[in-house]
Amino acid sequence: MDWHVRAVCVSMRLPQALNATQAMADLYRGAGTDGATSRSGRRSFLSNLANKGTAIHRLRTLAGHRSISTTATDWYSSTTQRQAAVALA
């Protein structure tokens, strides 16, 4: 289990799940969030930080990735965001 998921489980006094995926599914289910997964939560977290201007090197560290290319595939950018980026050129 990832350290941050374990910390959330401990802080919320939740039973520690067998793995991070199960822990996140339990947290989302408890919050009443249908269809959310550990993957969607991770992507949302990275996307929100990226959209606020967080440097990709910092995102890489937060995500625990070795490669920036892995991090780059993990965040979501909408058509509107891509068009706004092109407009900056």
H or E element that contains 47: helix 38-51
pLDDT at 16 > cutoff 80: no
pLDDT at 47 > cutoff 80: yes
pLDDT, tens only, 49-82: 888 888 889 989 988 889 988 888 776 667 777 7
Count the residues in the chain: 89
Domain ranges, ordered by start, for the chain? 1-36, 38-87
pLDDT at 79: 75
